[in-house]
Amino acid sequence: MTGAVIAACMEAGVALITTDSRHTPSGLTLPFHRHHRQAGVAARQFEASGPLRKRLWQTLVRAKIENQAALLAERGHPNAAALRAMIALVASGDPGNVEARAARDYWKSLFEGFIRDDASDLRNKALNYGYAVVRACVARAIVACGLLPSIGVHHASQVNSFNLADDLFEPFRPLVDRSVAGLAEGREPNSELTKDDRRALAALPLGELGLSGEAMTLLAAAERSAESLARAFETGDAKALRLPSMVAVSGVVAGAT
């Protein structure tokens, strides 16, 4: 791609994902902030109180576990109800780290004999690819709202330029997990990602989710969620945050047959 094409992509608000020699996403390029009230929105984000940030993280963790439980229920796993029961245990800021406890039960239930850190496992390869695609969508939505992606509500790494994107991304993860569960079914764990696998994962932004009782693509849901997060910072009310739901979603890709 020439510099002129890249510049045109930035002008149009396109997020560019670069890949390495193994076709795995390795970098993300986003436009500079172009929101008409970017300075004001960023100021509210910086000024957000500790209690507000903790309540926002509580809401994000609860939505993530709810979607994980919905995926287990969709796949007929009996542990779905137990996982959903953990939602009530998530307090403001999640001091008990219920998110991690739920994750351990979730992965054991979703994939047999699965180790999340095993780089040779097809499921991990696919998860990392899909997460990179969806994380880019969330980061793009955050920037479009005038928020600063490096200033998170929970993630706070000084070397991570996308702390806020990683926060807001959490409830979207199960959509990726669903797609990976489908493409890995019946295949050897040490298989390689195929071109068709990568094509399917790259189409995740068109996957269906529910938000506020309305069905929409993941891309649209990311934009709505980012806008609601900006409102939460503006009003100081975590209840303004609107997050995606996997309940009653019938397919991975909108319009799929």
Q: pLDDT (tens digit, 9 = 90+) per residue, 25-57?
A: 666 676 665 544 667 788 899 999 999 999 999
- 13 inside domain: no
Q: How far apart are CA 108 and CA 49, in angstroms?
A: 36
Among 227, 207, 202, 203, residue whose Cα is nearest residue 217? 207
| Cβ neighbours around 224 below 10 Å, total | 18
Asked if the structure places residue 227 within a domain, the reply is yes
In a domain, 145, yes or no: yes
* Chain segment 110-149, per-residue pLDDT in tens: 998 898 888 899 999 999 999 999 999 999 999 888 898 8
Q: Is residue 174 part of a domain?
A: yes
d(CA 207, CA 205): 6
CA–CA separation, 224 and 221 (whole Å):
5
Residue 250 lies in a domain: no
What per-residue confidence (pLDDT) applies to 217?
Answer: 93
Within a domain: residue 14? Answer: no
CA distances to 30, 122, 142, 180 from 34, rounded to whole Å, are: 11, 39, 11, 34
What domain range is 38 assigned to? 28-240
251 falls within a domain: no
Name all contacts of 113-117 with Cβ < 8 Å and 24+ positions apart: 113/189
Q: What CATH number should be reported for the domain holding residue 50?
A: 1.20.120.920
**Strand bridging mode 214-217 / 208-211:** antiparallel
Report yes or no on 11 lying in a domain.
Answer: no
CA 190 vs CA 131, 151, 194: distances in Å: 19, 37, 12
The stretches in the chain having pLDDT less than 50 are: 35-36, 249-257
The reported pLDDT for the residue numbered 9 is: 74
Count of domains observed in the chain:
1
